[in-house]
Amino acid sequence: MDATYRLREEHRLIQRVLECLEIALRRAILAGRAARTDFDPLVGFFREFADAYHHGMEEDALFAHLSKMGILEEGDPIAQMIREHECNRSLLSGIERHLESADAGDTDAVAAVIEHGWSYIDAQRSHIDKEEHCLFGMAELAIQGDERTALLRTYSELEADPVYSAAYERHLKVADRLIARYGLPALPIAAPPQAVPPEDLCPSAAERTHVSPPGPARKPSWREYSTQIAPDTNSELAVRVERALASLPVALQREALQRCGLDVDPEPLLWKELPGSQLRLFFPVRGGSERIEEGDVVCLVLLYDILRERTLYAHPIHAGPGANPLLKHLGGPMAQPKAQPGEKGDRATRRLLENKTAIWRCFLREQEEFGPEEAGRRWRQRYAWTLIRLYFCERCSACRWGSPFFEGSDGAPHRTSDATAVRPEPARMAGWEAARDAIRRSDAWSVEVQYARRGGFTISEEPQLVWPLDGDHLLAVFPSDAEFLDGGCIVGMAVYFHAPSSEVRYLHCLSAGPDPETLFLHGDRALAFPQPGAGREGAREAYVQWRAEAWWQFWLDELDLGIHAASRNWLHSFWEALTKLLGTFATER
């Protein structure tokens, strides 16, 4: 990990001082005063070391090198990282701006310092997570051979600068004093950077073999994501892992597993530091064959208290379609700390619940296609990917690397030019234009369009499908602009139009999900409307089956391919399924 080793070591230092800031904020809350003697050294460390030196090293060396190689142009994560550097600077400025008044006890200023302080902690931890679990891995993969040599030379030139070297050593001492002041365990840090003579940077024969970075056509997939995240030897994380594995909760679980011929792999599959100085660890369970059955223990999850240096619990994770009850009941008394805070964490948890059901159904199908061992291996890989996204993915977007973190340059999910699967065209039935205009003038249209807009969806004024249900009624479906789907997203609006009276008899929105529309199946009984698919045996039954199958396939595609491809696939099949259900009078596409 030569390309990122120093930066990772600096992250360890920054994370420990973030814990100091967390303690200082709690003390300020209790005291009703934010003392400058407490906050000035902390803000100074983050301003001068985390920002000026660490972020400077990233931007001037690693980011500049990756940009020069031209491998991160689409869904550019570098641009997002630089934006987050700027955001963190702004949050520090917010603390500094209010410190003088907060030191005097001004309640508004104290509240502002606390708000900016917590925001800085959350933003910095999230930023480090993104870099370490995605961007740095990309860099290690892409920078090989001569490119690696050039990057290491850039590092050596920066580290040879006396100003940088002196500042690095000075801030190591500042961090040591802060860590001791707030009663935290000492952090083992590598020796200060030393300049590497140019002659020592000559690549070996093996290093000269250049590994080309992935090309633009490379498709993101869980199969290409490295899920094994091993702690560096002798690092603070490695020490914590050893202590956690040696604890009584783990010993009890191990004893039970060993009776089944299983044991805990000492190398964690996943780890994440959570609020409250707690560390969550996932360890694979090894032993036996690759094949799995529902109920098998496949993983052990631990919660480790960093400050008290003890394991709070160790629970088994079982194969199957269900998830751990702590995840299913986010409001439950034992659900803390969550994988991610707030609504983003709730959304990520709900996504995991859907994904786990989908990958189990896929596993049952793949047993016949690939055999039990290969199907079991694929299930384990997919499940590891769901855990990584649960803890680190706010909303999976389709950058070319398959990153679960990075969004488009405007801060929104990266959009593609063909994101809408089906482009609506005007209907071509004779006399349809008059009926369409009557629908759009109706009160029912106005009410339902406003309802859709309330959820952030716009209904097209041109229909996608139009056909007669009997001699008097037309049924038209107008598409929405839904692009990235989830259960409940409005994907269209169905209109029952009575031709003789030129009236809209009923109108309702259609949504994504596993459940078919009741009016399409029981409209004749519910509201006395003619049935779509009438006279065609099995049409409605086929539509019901498609709805259920397509929805779990959507979540499997969402996991394997990303939300963009999954949404396009589902929308395309949705319009095809409606066409088959409702008849042959569909508009041309």
User: Which one has a higher pLDDT value, 458 or 79?
Assistant: 458
Supply the pLDDT for residue 190: 39
- Residue 211 has what pLDDT? 26
Cα 39 to Cα 269: distance, rounded to the nearest angstrom = 36
**Is the pLDDT at 45 greater than 50, yes or no?**
yes
Is pLDDT at 75 greater than 90 in this prediction? no
- What is the token pair recorded at 133? 């679990």
Tokens 């700390």 sit on residue:
337
HSE at residue 512, side-chain half, CA atoms within 13 A, is: 27
Residue-wise pLDDT for 492-532, tens only, equals 999 999 988 999 999 989 999 999 988 888 777 778 777 77
Q: What is the pLDDT of residue 221?
A: 37
Given a cut of 80, whether residue 488 has pLDDT beyond it is: yes
**What is the structure's pLDDT at 72?**
55
pLDDT of residue 186: 63
Confidence of residue 427 (pLDDT cuts 50, 70, 90): very low
pLDDT digits (tens, 9 = 90+) for 442-454: 999 999 999 999 9
Of 256-265, 279-288, 327-336, 509-518, give the lowest mean pLDDT range: 327-336
**520, burial (CB in 10 Å: exposed 0-12, middle 13-18, buried 19+):** buried
Identify the pLDDT of residue 137. 72
**Element containing residue 297 per DSSP (H, E):** strand 297-305
Distance CA 461, CA 77 (A): 37
Q: What pLDDT sits at residue 415?
A: 38
Average pLDDT over residues 343-348: 80
Confirm whether pTM is higher than 0.75: no
Q: What is the pLDDT of residue 422?
A: 43
Rounded mean pLDDT of 228-254?
81
Cα 415 from Cα 567, distance rounded (Å): 12
Q: CB of 114 within 8 A of CB of 94?
A: no
| Domain 5-206, CATH | 1.20.120
Mean pLDDT of all residues in 309-330:
87
Burial of 244 (0-12, 13-18, 19+ CB in 10 A): buried
Q: What are phi and psi of 532, to 5 degrees?
A: -65, 145
Q: Where in the chain is the domain with CATH 1.20.120?
A: 5-206
The percentage of residues in the chain with a pLDDT greater than 70, rounded to a whole number, is 81
Mean pLDDT of the chain: 79
495: phi then psi, degrees, rounded to nearest 5: -125, 125
Query: How high is the pLDDT of residue 536?
Result: 66
For residue 585, the model assigns a pLDDT of 41
How many beta carbons lie within 10 A of that of residue 111, not counting itself? 16
**Average pLDDT, stretch 131-143?**
77
Higher pLDDT, residue 309 or 235: 309
pLDDT band at 424 (very low <50, low <70, confident <90, very high): very low
Share of the chain above pLDDT 90, in %: 35
Average pLDDT value for residue range 564-571: 85
